[in-house]
């Protein structure tokens, strides 16, 4: 019937014609989804200033005519880790995914998390004070019979009139072994027109309660892991919160390692871009000389037009390579801007970064056993996964302890009182409430146990099985992480040997191509050889020189990768991780609290949980695992000399 009525009602409303309210647009139409600009307070920082001070970018300008900003690798890394609270990356994902950016605030945010931080977990053991005070007025007519003849009508209650007040106060405290204590004080006031001993009376009591879990929820181990009164399967205790904070610190350290690796990558990329530009400029100048020489021969009637066209084509080919190595996506200016972003400088400020740290060409041999041992113990990924395993072990312990019935001991003691006044100097038993309570004439107590057990303990058993599976999973992930690290370290060691061998091979190839160009140039000028061989040799020497510089940079990147894989990249680049300065009030509070905290003399009588860590760990501590041996005889030119070379060899466009 209800369904039929509703259907009929809908049909009636469908036949109602639209009114003015259906045709006139509302004031709020298209208002909620309107695009607006946010109004927020912003402050000027070095990062915002760097964004606002960028000038027009460079594309094909002569690098030798741009003021140089000489920068070493150590200085670049220092600028990168000190300039901004956001840990930058080469990809620049901060715009597309700002929530995924790593910052220096992340460890502090994990500590100050109001839901899962250590302070939030400790707050469960804080004393709780609750208080309430209410007044109410009752004025209700009563269903009283008529007064019999001769009976005073005033004695019959026709209307119930009461004025009441209630005050409740409680101080409760949760302890680490699961016990809870409470001290309560209740005061009730009642003024009524009923026939009672005191028309205006105060009643109340003072009681103390102690509840002690004997099975489920008992013990310091469970309460420090899961937290007091935690539901089955939820673990938010102090020890879990501490491990979560350690994991956040490990994530921050991993982000710093990635930042340092990105800065070093960008630095060596900039170094090789200078060298490749130098090689292309030399190839362009050699092609220009060949082209001009062929023009002279053609004008003198000794040359051929096809050879002159080939020389001209090769000149423009090298010229395009110079322009590409300057303003291309992998050119000098693009790679210099990438390094600028990582170290927090404006995209362009009228200066050009000149790397001052020379890439090493010395053969470095690492001790494999030492490096492997360091990688399996010092890598931040291994330490982070070990913390996760430790967390799962504690959760399994709490789940096992929680698979028990609930059995609580309850003890309560109460002092009651009653009086027509709240406080008075009279000595009567019921003259005032507090005198009656403190007199101790009315005392009550209660003691007993409460038992509660879900038949079968299904939820607790499932939580125990879930915790066991989580532990097995984390242990498997830890083992796989160690295996992956050993493979990555092996690849990094192989790359060191390979890149150094390629460095020597490409150097020998470069020297051979130089000798070939000298021979073919003399033979071409003597007229005993074709120009094609000379042009091909000029292209080969530029290619071999560029490959040699790339091999030199790849070797230095391989050394960086090896340090990263074995967990010593921060020490290799002299980067230290330390906690920032506290507020002045925090130091004062720590000093005052520390005065009241003294260690126990007899340590054997102190019951302490198993420590979570083995002590402090310094990821930036130096580790000796490499031995430099004799290097190759090549000494690369200083990058600061590239500007002088370009200034001397830059040639204007040929008309």
Percent of the chain with pLDDT over 90: 53
Reported confidence tier of residue 21, pLDDT bands at 50, 70, 90: low
| Angstrom distance (rounded) from CA 517 to CA 519 | 5
Task: Provide mean pLDDT across the span 166-178.
Answer: 94
| Assigned CATH topology for domain 246-387+469-577+623-649 | Outer membrane efflux proteins (OEP) (1.20.1600)
pLDDT for res 634: 42
Q: Which residue has the tokens 């010092």?
A: 378
Angle between helices 531-565 and 305-327 (to 10 degrees): 20
Q: Note the pTM of the prediction, 2 decimals.
A: 0.82
Is pLDDT at 611 greater than 80 in this prediction? no
DSSP label at residue 653: P
Task: Provide mean pLDDT across the span 432-454.
Answer: 90
Task: Provide mean pLDDT across the span 514-525.
Answer: 88
DSSP string spanning 228-243?
TTPPTT----HHHHHH
Residue with more model confidence, 10 or 309 = 309
Is pLDDT at 288 greater than 60 in this prediction? yes
| Angstrom distance (rounded) from CA 570 to CA 507 | 31
**Side-chain half-sphere exposure of 500, counting CA atoms within 13 A:** 19
pLDDT for res 582: 78
- The neighbouring-strand residues paired with 355 are 71
Summarised one tens digit per residue, pLDDT across range 338-370 is 999 999 999 898 999 999 999 999 999 999 999
Summarised one tens digit per residue, pLDDT across range 399-431 is 999 999 999 999 999 999 988 888 877 766 677
Task: Provide mean pLDDT across the span 79-99.
Answer: 83
pLDDT for res 653: 33
| Angstrom distance (rounded) from CA 335 to CA 132 | 67
pLDDT for res 58: 83
pLDDT for res 6: 47
pLDDT for res 316: 93
pLDDT for res 655: 30
Reported confidence tier of residue 145, pLDDT bands at 50, 70, 90: low
pLDDT for res 644: 40
Question: Closest Cα to residue 120, out of 28, 280, 254, 230?
Answer: 230
Question: Closest Cα to residue 179, out of 134, 224, 124, 218?
Answer: 218
- The neighbouring-strand residues paired with 414 are 207, 444
* Domain range list for the chain: 128-142+156-235+406-452, 246-387+469-577+623-649
Summarised one tens digit per residue, pLDDT across range 471-488 is 999 999 999 999 999 999
Is pLDDT at 160 greater than 90 in this prediction? no
Q: Are 422 and 433 contacting, i.e. CB atoms less than 8 angstroms apart?
A: yes
Q: Which two tokens stand for residue 271?
A: 């170094």
Summarised one tens digit per residue, pLDDT across range 551-606 is 999 999 999 999 999 999 999 998 988 887 777 888 888 888 777 776 666 556 66
Task: Provide mean pLDDT across the span 10-27.
Answer: 61
């Amino acid at each position: 019937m209800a369904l039929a009525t509703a259907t009929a009602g809908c049909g009636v409303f469908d036949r109602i014609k639209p009114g003015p309210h259906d045709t006139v647009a509302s004031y709020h139409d298209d208002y909620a989804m309107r695009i607006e600009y946010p109004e927020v307070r912003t402050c000027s920082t070095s990062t915002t200033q760097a964004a606002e001070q960028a000038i027009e970018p460079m594309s094909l300008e002569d690098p030798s005519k741009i003021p140089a900003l000489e920068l070493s690798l150590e200085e670049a890394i220092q600028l990168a880790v000190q300039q901004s609270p956001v840990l930058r990356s080469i990809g620049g994902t901060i715009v597309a995914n700002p929530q995924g950016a790593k910052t220096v605030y992340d460890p502090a945010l994990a500590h100050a998390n109001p839901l899962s931080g250590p302070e939030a977990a400790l707050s469960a053991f804080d004393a709780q004070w609750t208080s309430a005070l209410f007044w109410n007025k009752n004025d209700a007519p009563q269903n009283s019979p008529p007064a019999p003849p001769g009976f005073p009508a005033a004695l019959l209650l026709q209307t119930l009139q009461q004025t009441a007040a209630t005050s409740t106060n409680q101080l409760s405290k949760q302890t680490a072994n699961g016990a809870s204590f409470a001290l309560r004080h209740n005061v009730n006031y009642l003024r009524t027109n009923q026939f009672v001993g005191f028309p205006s009376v105060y009643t109340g009591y003072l009681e103390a309660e102690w509840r002690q879990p004997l099975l489920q929820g008992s013990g310091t181990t469970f309460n420090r892991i899961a937290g007091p009164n935690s539901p089955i399967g939820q673990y938010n205790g102090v020890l879990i919160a501490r491990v979560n904070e350690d994991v956040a610190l490990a994530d921050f350290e991993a982000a710093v390692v990635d930042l340092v690796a990105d800065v070093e990558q960008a630095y060596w990329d900039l170094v090789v871009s200078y060298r490749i530009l130098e090689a292309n400029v030399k190839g362009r100048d050699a092609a220009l000389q060949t082209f001009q020489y062929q023009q002279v021969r053609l004008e003198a009637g000794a040359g051929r037009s096809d050879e002159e066209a080939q020389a001209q084509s090769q000149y423009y080919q090298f010229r395009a390579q110079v322009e590409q190595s300057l303003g291309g996506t992998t050119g000098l200016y693009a790679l210099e801007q990438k390094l600028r972003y990582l170290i927090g400088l404006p995209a362009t400020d009228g200066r050009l970064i000149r790397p001052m740290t020379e890439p090493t060409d010395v053969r470095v041999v690492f001790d494999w056993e030492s490096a492997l041992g360091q990688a399996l113990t010092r890598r931040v990924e291994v330490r982070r996964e070990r913390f996760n395993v430790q967390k799962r072990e504690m959760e399994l312990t709490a789940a096992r302890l929680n698979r028990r019935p609930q059995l609580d001991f309850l003890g309560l003691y109460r002092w009651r009182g009653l009086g027509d006044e709240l406080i008075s100097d009279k000595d009567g038993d019921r003259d005032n409430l507090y005198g009656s309570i403190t007199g101790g004439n009315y005392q009550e107590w209660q003691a007993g146990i409460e038992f509660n057990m879900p038949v079968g303990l299904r939820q607790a058993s499932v939580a125990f099985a879930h915790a066991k599976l989580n532990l097995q999973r984390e242990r498997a992930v830890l083992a796989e992480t160690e295996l992956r690290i050993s493979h990555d370290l092996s690849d990094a060691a192989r790359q060191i040997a390979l890149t150094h061998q390629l460095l020597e091979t490409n150097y020998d190839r470069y020297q051979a191509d130089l000798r070939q160009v000298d021979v073919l140039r003399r033979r071409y000028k003597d007229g005993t050889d074709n120009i094609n061989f000379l042009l091909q040799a000029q292209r080969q020497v530029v290619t071999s020189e560029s490959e040699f510089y790339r091999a030199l940079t790849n070797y230095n990147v391989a050394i960086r990768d090896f340090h990263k894989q074995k967990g010593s990249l921060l020490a290799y680049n002299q980067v230290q991780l330390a906690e920032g300065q506290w507020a002045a009030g925090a130091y004062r509070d720590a000093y005052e609290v520390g005065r009241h905290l003294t260690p126990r003399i007899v340590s054997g009588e102190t019951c302490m949980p198993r420590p979570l860590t083995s002590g402090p760990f310094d990821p930036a501590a130096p580790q000796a695992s490499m031995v430099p041996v004799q290097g190759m005889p090549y000494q690369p030119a200083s990058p600061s000399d590239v500007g002088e070379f370009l200034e001397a060899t830059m040639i204007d466009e040929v008309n």
